[in-house]
Structure 1
Amino acid sequence: MSKQYLIIDNGAYNIKAGFNNGEESAPLKVYNAITRTKDGLIHIGNQFKTHTKNFSGIQIKRPFEQGHLTSWETEKPIWDYTIDQISPKREIDPSNIHLTLTETPFQLPQLSSNTDQIVFEEYGFQEYYRCTPPSLVPFGVDTSIVNPDFTLVIDAGFNFTWIMPILYQKVYWEGVRKLPVGGNLLNGLLKEIISFRYYDISDDPILINTIKESTCFFASDFNQALKKKANLGCEFVLPDFKTTATGYVVCADAPKVSADSQVLNLYDERFTVPETFYHPEIMFDTNGSTASNTLLQQAPIKSLTDLVVSSIMSCPEITRPLLSANICLVGGTTNIPNFKTRLLLELTKELSSNWKVIVNDKQNDTLPDEMSWYGGVNLTNEDVINNISISKKDYFEHGSNWCQKQFGFKNL
């Protein structure tokens, strides 16, 4: 039986997992959490979506904390569920599988070692390659548009936004930057604003995420948008669990709003929350204890633009204009409308006028949060995968530190 290649992009919000099946390859997305619904039932992964329509009061336990995989007690059942979903008709044999797995950049070595132990000692995979999600992106880009040898990947995920320059398919670690803003922080800001101004929805994390995804956008000019906020309003119908279980935005083709429906009228919240990427101080203004803290208010917090410029300028001089012309957006948070346009506007102001600034998203019709997974699929088609992987035999022969020596950030 020929060796199979399993790719798992282990995101903090969704796991993207699947086998390399040639042109038919496609990832399965699994909610990376264990949830308990109001009726007291425990659900793993996507189970809650089919077992209940009432998501209010749902409790969510994630294996990730501060972007790091800290709880394998929570993660392992989700992995078991994911592997069962990938291959429901037959049991897979890990001893015949090469696993490509992603992890957070600068993961603590002890946490990485825990992962290596699970991979080889619990599951028993035959071969293994561990890397960061952005490092796989150059293998998934459209090479007629992006130069895979000089790529600046901006990965806006659930917990953080990572800016990662990749030179000749290798991460240039000295240029890596992190912005502590992601989908989770935007959800928290939106929850505080809506709960303060309108209704208390703090017990409905699924609803908050739905409101963010369906109403928020980036303003091309934030100050102008504030002046015209009355014209940028929208109505969001809250779930009543009779006509809608998730809620929806009122538009021309939406169902007629019943008289007893609760309607949320959103105005400046729609673009103020995402603006945190460019004005991080916004995150303090909605919290009483931090808004009044002078030290925090005066702290030099860098925006996404500052960090992208800093990342490019820390790379070798000859590569800088090449990186600015090959910027790739990945990660679920980049789905917020106008993300690409706003970033392009901001970077054009800051970078040299002699440089081309080109921002790419949704290449090859691939969703931004699936780019790393498809890059992983393409990497397993390359001969180099055999040279950079570790076998189960190597792991047991050289000890648990061997993986960290092979996969760690070497040029720091």
Structure 2
Amino acid sequence: MKHLILDNGSYSVKAGFVSEKAPTVVHNTIVRSKDGLIHTGNEYISQTSQYSGMVFKRPNEQGNLVSWEIERPIWDTTFEELQSGGIDPSSTHLTLTETPFQLPQLSINTDQIVFEEYGFQDYYRCIPASLVPWQLNHQQKDFSFIIDSGFNCTWIVPVIYQSVYWKGIKKFPVGGKLLNGLLREITSFRHYDVSDESILINTIKEATCFVAEDYSKTLNDKQKFMCEFVLPDFKTTATGYIRTPKSITREADEDLQTLKLTDERFTIPEAFYHPEIIFNSSSSNSAKIHNSTLKNLVDLIVESIMTCPEVARPLLSANISVVGGTSKLPNFNERLGHELTRELPSHWVVKINTSEHDPAETSWYGGKRLVESGMLDEVSISKKEYFEHGSNWCQRQFGFKNI
């Protein structure tokens, strides 16, 4: 039987068989371009002349998979792009990830699609963070603290003896999507109206934004971090790029429009540590919001660790894994380690593990190691068991424990 691991993220789907060295990555979206054509998954990438004004529709809302009308064609496209040349569900074991605390009825809908629509032979459903410890070494597996910063939000998940400690899970509502929104608002206010330029905003964020190791010092010296981002003209460039001494030599480079970015580069990601930035940049004038005590990422991490059994707390702080696409922002791990060292007891060790894989794909590689360990057969559900016990059976086996 073949084993397919499918990490169904809000931004992209990472899928591949255990026999493959790397996953196939497909954008988890359906896109409508200005000419009215619909593009599924990665199809829009080749439409460089249509990048302006593209409308993205994703199957996830607030991290929950709510629309199978959108997800189904994306999965079909993903399966067609697999390196092995497609799949035969009747002889395939599926390992699927979903967001923590997914609404039970939505999870049941997923189970029905997996068994009744696709007809997979065996099935295991879990949250992405539970797979991360499997790609760590033997000493690190028992006590793992996962910070999964993705597109919709950032999840904080303690894993003890390869089991998710549900009482300690925290959700911080800052992720790549929110950072894009803040950058779009500030750029539209200071420079040009880019409210319809989703691809441009995401490109600017990935190319220019970083986490300041010392925010106050960086803010005082913000002119040192000024950069010029050349906007796309859809003739010489479709996505834009940072102007450098080398790029100035290009023909027509001087004639292109540019954005001069200074404090935007590090103020936007600072929402992880000063979430009041979100409301200061918005139109909300509510006194309650501005005067409330907002918990930042570090506060929630400390709360999560303190919720765990006392003996496990220092072990968790010494074995932190940061994953997810948003964590690829420069200086993300360094700043997080510095802040946690200040907040946690001085005799505790704070260590953030570095993965040999792309942070956005770490869960997929962890799932691959889980399959290779041979333990997956003990926790999976077969199609026969599903039809014997009914649609609630998977939720009883895979769902989060009531807390």
1:284 corresponds, among 258, 279, 284, to: 279
CA displacement 1:22-76 (0-9 Å, x = unmatched): xx42101101000011121110000011244431100111000111100000000
Instruction: Report SS of the residue matched to 1:166.
Output: strand
Matches within 5 A, 1:11-410: 11-21=9-19, 24-87=20-83, 89=85, 91-143=86-138, 147-254=140-247, 256=249, 258-288=253-283, 290=284, 292-361=285-354, 363=355, 365-410=356-401
CA displacement 1:82-129 (0-9 Å, x = unmatched): 00111574x521010000000000000000000000000000000000
Counterpart residue identity of residue 127, structure 1 = D
Take 1:399 and 1:174, find their aligned partners in 2: how far apart are those partners? 28
Instruction: Report SS of the residue matched to 1:57.
Output: coil
Take 1:300 and 1:376, find their aligned partners in 2: how far apart are those partners? 38
- Alignment match, 2:2: 4
Q: CA RMSD in A?
A: 1.2
TM-score by length of 1: 0.95
Where do 5+ consecutive residues of structure 1 fail to align? none
Counterpart residue identity of residue 402, structure 1 = W
Counterpart residue identity of residue 372, structure 1 = S
Take 1:51 and 1:216, find their aligned partners in 2: how far apart are those partners? 26
Instruction: Report SS of the residue matched to 1:239.
Output: coil
Take 1:401 and 1:14, find their aligned partners in 2: how far apart are those partners? 28
CA displacement 1:130-178 (0-9 Å, x = unmatched): 00000000011244xx611100000000001001000000000111111
TM-score by length of 2: 0.97
Aligned residue-pair number: 401
Take 2:140 and 2:289, find their aligned partners in 1: how far apart are those partners? 40
CA displacement 1:324-364 (0-9 Å, x = unmatched): 00000000000000000100110000001101000123x2x
CA displacement 1:200-259 (0-9 Å, x = unmatched): 111110110000000000111111111111111111000011111110011244353623
Take 1:374 and 1:284, find their aligned partners in 2: how far apart are those partners? 37
**TM-aligned CA distance change 1:320 to 1:38, over 3 Å:** same
Counterpart residue identity of residue 32, structure 1 = N
Instruction: Report SS of the residue matched to 2:50.
Output: coil
**TM-aligned CA distance change 1:259 to 1:251, over 3 Å:** closer
Where do 5+ consecutive residues of structure 2 fail to align? none
Take 1:313 and 1:280, find their aligned partners in 2: how far apart are those partners? 22
**TM-aligned CA distance change 1:295 to 1:139, over 3 Å:** same
Take 1:95 and 1:147, find their aligned partners in 2: how far apart are those partners? 36
* Identity value in percent: 59
Take 1:84 and 1:394, find their aligned partners in 2: how far apart are those partners? 28
CA displacement 1:160-199 (0-9 Å, x = unmatched): 1001000000000111111000000000000000000001
